[in-house]
Structure 1
Amino acid sequence: MTYFLKSDLRLVKAISLGALLLGALALGACNTVAGIGSDVEHAGHSLEHAAEAASR
């Protein structure tokens, strides 16, 4: 049976915490990009409607 040293456990915990934080940051970045894309799409539809109204 293999036993971990306290320093090994600290290293495993640090790596796990780092991976968790990086995952949360990546998820936040994806949500931000999706939100920006949604805002741009909404603005595009608004411009289309404004152009149609102006051409009448």
Structure 2
Amino acid sequence: MVKERHNPDGFNISVNVGEHAGQSVFHVHMHLIPRFKGDVEDPQGGIRGVIPSKQKY
């Protein structure tokens, strides 16, 4: 559905497991982030790099 509606160039998929990995509530929670060529300066900056103001938590 995301691919057909938004036509991204790629995706980031993220799951945090455990408090030290950033999980704050113990449950399965997955992020599927559509990515587009040029959307951030360095796409290798990790999942939190997608929103620079959220890199530190």
Q: Which TM-score band applies after superposition, normalised by the shorter structure? A: under 0.3
Q: Which has the higher contact order (CA 8 A, sep 6+)?
A: 2
Larger strand proportion of the pair:
2
Structure with the largest fraction of helix:
1
Larger Rg: 1
